[in-house]
Amino acid sequence: MSNLEENNIIKIVTLPPMRVAYNIAVGAAPEDEAMAPVLDWIKSSNLLGTARFFGGNVVPLPSHLGTPYGYGMCAAIPDGVDVPSHLKEMVMPGGLYAMFESSDDIGDSWKTLMRYLSKHSKYKSDRSRLCLEEHIRNDNPDGSGSKYYLNLFEPVKVK
């Protein structure tokens, strides 16, 4: 597998630095709890059409099924927008990422991405930056589908 991105298995992309508003929740399934305050504020501020949404695990990291773990959700926001006090703000540094479209089994998709990346001839994982899950709204779920498509982003650097 010398050129995985040409086979559309993974793509190497550059994300720009992004100013984000974020929220962190800890629980047995904290994703919705982390997402709700961010999404509610983005909607009420009329920023829905411009924001990109990213989530990812934070400390405490997942260990065993059913044990509490942390999840953070953030939305990219333009300069000049004031972040409300119930959310936090940071600048994500951007950089090179291996991108992979997730199936409904997110854990298995992460394993697949990491397996392909471990065989990549040019890039390796860069643990100095956060891995991300981009949530892309699916406004036409068919009843069995998710409300979001997920693209997984693993930070990478040249070997």
Mean pLDDT throughout 35-57? 93
What does the pLDDT read at residue 6?
A: 44
Give the pLDDT of residue 104: 84
Distances (CA, A) of 67 to 73, 122, 136: 19, 37, 27
What predicted TM-score, i.e. pTM, was given to this entire model?
0.85
Q: What pLDDT, on a 0 to 100 scale, did the predictor assign at position 111?
A: 94
Tell me the average pLDDT across 19-28: 96
Q: Report the distance separating Cα 131 and Cα 116, nearest Å.
A: 16
Q: Which of 67, 30, 37 is nearest to 53 (CA)?
A: 37
pLDDT value for 66: 82
- Band (pLDDT 50/70/90 cuts) for residue 100 is very high
Q: What band does 140 get if pLDDT is binned at 50, 70 and 90? A: low
